[in-house]
Structure 1
């Protein structure tokens, strides 16, 4: 897990570092540290969160292993499965 705030002090520096990581495939999902939710990098819900709460993951397995749940908007089918397994 990589914290967004750890990618740099300035907004532009964070954006550049994140772009490099995305281009290299080091980051494929983003999450909200407080809500323990993760989703795709282009999810509208994720784009609205505060930088201090945003974290990044290499893959779904990493996010799930750290106790994050799939986003109900951009990962709807995974969310439904997660919710069903939780109720059983």
Structure 2
């Protein structure tokens, strides 16, 4: 019973973190890492270390180190460069 409560609280905290990141920054972009000109535009962000790519509003994007961020023009470019889609945001 205790484990179920701990797991539920952990899952809710993760959800709260993801929602809070998207709402707090307005566009969901990490502060100093992304150079997109249109802040309302969705784009693709990859992690050089994990080879996973995300939609720019994904809750995992702010967790990517600045030196691991790579931007893609479209989904096909990310896939052709060997990146796999995030299992959370499903780009």
TM-score of the two chains, using structure 2 as the length reference: 0.57
Aligned counterparts of 2:49 and 2:75: Cα–Cα separation in 1: 18
User: How many equivalent residue pairs?
Assistant: 60
Structure showing greater radius of gyration is 2
Residue 58 of structure 1, aligned match among 60, 64, 73: 73
State the SS of the aligned residue for 2:70. strand
Residue 32 of structure 1, aligned match among 40, 47, 65: 47
State the SS of the aligned residue for 1:44. coil
Runs of 4+ residues over 3 Å off in structure 1: none
User: Displacement of 1:48 after TM fit?
Assistant: 0.9
Structure 1 unaligned residues grouped into runs of 5+: 1-10, 79-88
State the SS of the aligned residue for 1:42. coil
Structure 2 unaligned residues grouped into runs of 5+: 1-30
User: Displacement of 1:19 after TM fit?
Assistant: 3.5
Q: What is the RMSD of the two structures over their aligned residues, measured on CA atoms?
A: 2.3
Aligned counterparts of 1:71 and 1:51: Cα–Cα separation in 2: 18
